A and B are shown apart, each in its own frame.
Chain A
Amino acid sequence: MKGKGISRELICVRASREVKEGMYVNLGLGIPTAIPNFVPEKLEVVFQSENGILGYGRVPQEEEEWDFDLLNASGQPTVLLPGACFFDSSLAFGMIRGGHIDLTFLGGFQVSEKGDLANWASSEQVRGGAGSIGGSMDLSFGSKRVIVVMEHVTKDGKLRILKECTLPLTAKGCVNTILTDLAVLEVTPEGLVLKEVAPGITSEEVQEVTEPRIIIDPLLREIGL
């Protein structure tokens, strides 16, 4: 099944469909940072950045427009949208941990059947701080809804959706939805439910690269793009 599945860009397009007007949304490192590029410009959505911004937008294409005092959570120069404001990191994380963020998109290394997330350490052994956590744990614990956006398997074909994560955890049971290049899955008390598949992909092919047994939604459809 190599080479099938949707591109990173299309994953972001699908992810952007989850963003509704009036939502306050946080974006994690990795694939999610491109999501604002696909949210319709007339939709009033407020992106929160953990370093103390509400209301930032896309990364400017022209280097002349880059302001290195105005960075998003990935450290990229960004722009302010009307209605934006600044605040300090204490208020930023109060917003996050205090349950005020409606939706967070996070990258992932592994997600378990129960919605455990591992996305901060890529090696099983994290010796003496050789990993980096950043805001990932706070976002996982605090957001009202967490969508993990990642490739379904690693470049060497290792599975990422597992019965139990083997990498150091970010948080237990925090993931609501998993969005990959092959499928959209919901985490439920009964197990992972397959809701959508990429064009040309069957549910059997998704099961082949997913360790836990998937429940197939009777209304299974193609990823809406």
Chain B
Amino acid sequence: MDTQEKPFWNPYLAGVALGLVLLATYLVMGFGLGASGAMIRFGTWVGWMAAPQAMENHPFFCSYVGEGKKVLEDWLVFEVVGVFLGGVVAAYSAGRLRPAVQQGARPVGVTVRLSLALVGGFLMGIGARYGHGCTSGQALTGGALLSTGSWAFMMSVFAGGYLVAPLLRRVWR
């Protein structure tokens, strides 16, 4: 982090701020935040643009697309658009908005890094379907509501990360 950038917030204060955003969501909407839910919808939409009949007849995707359904007109999709905008504004105002490929202390090749990003993302897409959400929708949202499955999910996420981390030490440390 170079000296032109604004420092990151104290993590406890940032957490409280995040908790207040989440609380506001509960009080205003009656449900919480999410991210992966928008991703399946966006992907379904792209697939539907390419092959509408196939998607509308498919046993999984038919619940998202078809007669009277607007796959992108969904709370989570609009929320994730907001997440993106918030990220842009926060990064810009902190002097952190620039193209880059994030690397650990000893950078690996860009191809390696981006391949890991793609595969990692792919696994998260699958994990989120089985988890019925991701860290935003389950760990944070469900966690604060003390949902049983959310806590189990959260502990599993940490378990998965910690167990595989030693294999990736070269990438991050």
To the question of whether A and B form a pair in one complex, the answer is no
A residues apposed to B, CB below 8 Å:
none
